[in-house]
């Protein structure tokens, strides 16, 4: 199955880190594709949709490129024809989901359904907010589990909340050493809240 991770010019610095963690924690057999969108933010959905339309896969894994995996990925990333979307992040309960059924966090998607939602949305935030409403109104179904298939911090590793900083919450010391190949120690933070943030400290 293809894993399609979408970024932008500002996220390309972390792509080597993301690749390293995927190679370390992801089982073999997946084709990982990194896309970088450098246009106006309102064209993000169109960019993603046009790429997906070039594929023939029935199911794909789709998300942003700045979620840093922190543990081995369990099995269960396969496409299930009974689910239009399978969220791989942690969900409130096991079972059918109705909240944030469209998310930029890693999810297994029926490709045609994902294209349908992208056709009616514009930005990543519009995809999540209005895309969720559209997904639910169309009667699509989304499944998820309390125990996620993929472990990573709920916040993305990069954000305009703290420009130039990288969130390393949940990463082990060995993986933080990989991050330090690309970032200075002062750039490492714990979490991605608005306002003041905890700085990473060497243990």
* Total residue count of the chain as it appears in this document: 203
Q: What is the pLDDT of residue 155?
A: 81
Return phi, psi of residue 62, to 5°. Answer: -135, 140
Give the model's pLDDT for residue 75: 60
Strands 2-7 and 31-36, how do they pair? parallel
Is residue 141 within 8 Å of residue 84, measured between CB atoms? yes
Q: Which residues in the chain land under pLDDT 50?
A: none
Domains in the chain (CATH in brackets) are 2-145 (3.90.550.10), 155-203 (no CATH)
Give residue 168's pLDDT. 96
Residues 6+ apart with CB under 8 A from 183: 13, 166
Tens digits of per-residue pLDDT, 125-138?
999 999 999 999 99
Write down the pTM of the prediction.
Answer: 0.93
Q: What does the pLDDT read at residue 76?
A: 59
Those residues whose C-beta lies under 8 Å from the C-beta of residue 81, and which sit 6 or more positions away, are 58, 110
pLDDT (0 to 100) of residue 203: 76
**140 φψ region: left (φ > 0), alpha (ψ -120 to 50), beta (else):** beta
Tell me, what DSSP letter sits at residue 26?
S
- 124-137 vs 111-119: helix axis angle to the nearest 10? 110
Contact between 57 and 110 (Cβ < 8 Å)? no
């Amino acid at each position: 199955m293809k894993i399609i991770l979408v970024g932008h010019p500002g996220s390309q610095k972390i792509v080597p880190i993301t690749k390293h963690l995927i190679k370390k924690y992801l089982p073999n057999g997946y084709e990982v594709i990194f896309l970088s969108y450098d246009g106006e933010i309102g064209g993000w959905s169109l960019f993603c949709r046009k790429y997906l339309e070039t594929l023939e896969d029935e199911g794909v894994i789709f998300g942003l490129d700045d979620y840093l995996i922190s543990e081995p990925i369990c099995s269960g990333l396969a496409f299930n024809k009974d689910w239009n979307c399978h969220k791989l992040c942690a969900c409130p309960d096991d079972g059918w989901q109705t909240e944030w059924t469209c998310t930029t966090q890693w999810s297994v998607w029926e490709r045609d359904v994902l294209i349908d939602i992208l056709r009616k949305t514009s930005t990543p935030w519009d995809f999540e907010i209005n895309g969720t409403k559209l997904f639910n109104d169309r009667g699509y179904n989304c499944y998820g589990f309390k125990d996620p298939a993929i472990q990573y911090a709920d916040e993305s590793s990069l954000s305009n909340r703290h420009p130039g900083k990288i969130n390393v919450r949940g990463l082990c010391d060995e993986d933080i050493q990989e991050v330090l190949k690309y970032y200075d120690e002062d750039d490492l933070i714990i979490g991605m809240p608005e306002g003041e943030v905890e700085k990473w400290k060497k243990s």
